[in-house]
């Protein structure tokens, strides 16, 4: 596609990430433009006629909801809100995540229920299209009144404050806007709250991890197939009949995919001395399949969220309603973030167990997958590294969503902690990629002891490509760089083998 037009349509994860990867431009469609203008005009007229308080528009925020603000100070109120809420700290969020936040915020606002100016949405789109990426920090959101702190760091750049990453440098936003002859936005009533309330920090992380998770699952199946070949495993557990009667969609899908990967292999048809394999091989359909089903569920949750209005209060011009509610609360995402972390960590968990089995000096493989074990330690400590990472993932999978800390003087008395779940999930994803890299390195080494030419064409192709980046280990060498290169390989190259 040459551009993505925001025009009240519903977006799918794959569609959005194909667009993001393309580097093409974002554009506001006519339906979106009209809806934004209509809502803003309605809000202005409503404020002219209203004598009482409307939360967040002519009142304070949080526990200050009962503090009335004069009409003369409504714009200042919004700017003060943004400045005071930009309290992020910790590590900087990656530009890829922040750019996705810009996209998701524009999508949410363009439906015309937030009361923002047209110029505000256009500024978000301008930043997206010109790679002006606000500096946002990982820590600071409770995932309750939306992702207040991270979104405040984005919001303040729209009116020329804060910092952005632009052309490889961190610079003052005002400097960038001046160099581009671009005017800052002048916030009007309700706009600061519309920009800060919302779940775009959580949803950007979750969307990225869902997208990565699909590729992780593909790689986990490739790894399991190659490890099965190196370990002289049996194909029976992947047969259609036995998986069909379990009636779990992910299990059936996993078994079919691995069977397809192994099509044409000599190993799976040769006589087996053993009648049964360990669970880490035999139960791949059940374990990988369960993670696949979880991923499908989580994708539905985040897809709904991307296509939603998540700020507060929300405005319904046709019904003459301004409703203060809780669409900013991150609970749906928090639970999904924790669930996906567990599901993906399990793929790393079972992968490490296959690595361990390949090291054991059984089924025709030398101990630690190296000639002359004893003189050489081979892959001994590579397995240690995988075990260490898997253990860390178990710690990271302690659910953030079961926690809640009272805030805003008791007004915000239940919070989702979804932002912490988001950053934990992101670490789990990176950890799983590394474990899968170590498994592929181990499986490729083991396969060479058995004869690469006897495996399936797909796995021969994978092995050949892998060897262009990571060598066969004949004797003990410096391993760390190869483990890291293996992680890079699985992240970048698995799509071409399925």
Residue positions annotated with a catalytic role? 55
Unique residue bearing structure tokens 């160099």 = 179
Report DSSP state, residue 473: -
> In 3-state terms, what secondary structure has residue 141?
coil
Strands 314-316 and 321-323 come out as antiparallel
- Quote the tokens at residue 102: 């810009």
Q: Distances in Å between the alpha carbon of 214 and those of 82, 112, 433? A: 36, 33, 12
Helix H or strand E encompassing 25: strand 25-28
Provide the token pair at 195. Answer: 């920009």
Q: Where are the alpha helices (DSSP H) in 185-239?
A: 191-196, 200-230
| CA nearest neighbour of 192 among 347, 356, 312, 88 | 312
Residues in the chain: 498
Query: Can you give 320-343 as a three-state secondary structure string?
Result: CEEECCCCCCCHHHHHHHHHHHHH
List Cβ neighbours of 324 (8 Å cut-off, separation of 6 or more). Answer: 55, 56, 312, 313
| CB atoms closer than 10 angstroms to residue 47 | 18
Q: Are 221 and 258 in contact (CB under 8 A)?
A: yes
């Amino acid at each position: 596609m040459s551009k993505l037009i925001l025009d009240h349509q519903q977006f799918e994860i794959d569609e959005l990430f194909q667009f993001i990867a393309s580097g093409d431009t974002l554009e506001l469609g006519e339906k979106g433009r009209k809806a934004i203008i209509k809502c803003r005009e309605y809000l202005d007229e409503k404020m002219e006629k209203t004598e009482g308080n409307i939360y967040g528009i002519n009142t304070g925020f949080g526990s200050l909801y009962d503090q009335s603000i004069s009409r003369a100070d409504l714009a200042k109120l919004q700017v003060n809100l943004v400045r005071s809420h930009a309290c992020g700290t910790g590590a900087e969020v990656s530009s890829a995540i922040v750019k996705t936040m810009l996209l998701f915020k524009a999508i949410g606002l363009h439906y015309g229920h937030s009361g923002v100016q047209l110029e505000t949405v256009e500024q978000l789109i301008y930043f997206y299209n010109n790679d002006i990426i606000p500096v946002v920090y990982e820590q600071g959101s409770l995932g309750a009144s939306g992702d207040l702190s991270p979104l405040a760091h984005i919001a303040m750049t729209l009116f020329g404050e804060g910092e952005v990453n632009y052309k490889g440098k961190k610079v003052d936003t005002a400097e960038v806007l001046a160099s581009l002859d671009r005017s800052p936005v002048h916030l009007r009533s309700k706009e600061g709250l519309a920009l800060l309330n919302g779940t775009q920090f959580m949803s950007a992380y979750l969307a990225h991890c869902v997208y990565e998770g699909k590729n992780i699952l593909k790689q986990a199946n490739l790894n399991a197939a190659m490890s099965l070949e190196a370990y002289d495993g049996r194909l029976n557990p992947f047969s259609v009949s036995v998986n069909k009667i379990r009636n779990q969609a992910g299990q059936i899908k996993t078994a079919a995919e691995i069977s397809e990967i192994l099509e044409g292999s000599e190993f799976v048809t040769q006589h087996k001395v053993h009648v049964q394999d360990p669970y880490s091989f035999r139960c791949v359909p059940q374990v990988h399949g369960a993670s696949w089903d979880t991923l499908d569920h989580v994708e539905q949750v985040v897809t709904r969220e991307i296509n939603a209005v998540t700020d507060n209060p929300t405005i319904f011009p046709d019904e003459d309603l301004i409703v203060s509610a809780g669409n900013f609360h991150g609970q749906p995402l928090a639970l999904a973030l924790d669930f996906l972390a567990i599901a993906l960590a399990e793929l790393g968990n079972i992968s490490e167990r296959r690595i361990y089995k390949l090291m054991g000096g059984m089924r025709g493989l030398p101990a630690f997958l190296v000639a002359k074990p004893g003189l050489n330690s081979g892959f001994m400590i590579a397995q240690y590294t995988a075990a260490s990472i898997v253990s860390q993932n178990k710690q990271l999978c302690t659910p953030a969503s079961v926690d809640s800390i009272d805030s805003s003087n008791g007004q915000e008395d239940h919070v989702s902690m979804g932002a912490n779940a988001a950053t934990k999930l992101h670490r789990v994803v990176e950890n799983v990629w590394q474990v899968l890299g170590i498994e592929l390195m181990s499986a490729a080494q083991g396969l060479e002891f058995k004869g690469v030419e006897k495996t399936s064409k797909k796995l021969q192709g994978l092995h050949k490509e892998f060897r262009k980046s990571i060598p066969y280990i004949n004797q003990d060498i410096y391993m760390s760089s190869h483990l890291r290169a293996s992680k890079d390989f699985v992240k970048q190259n698995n799509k071409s083998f399925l």
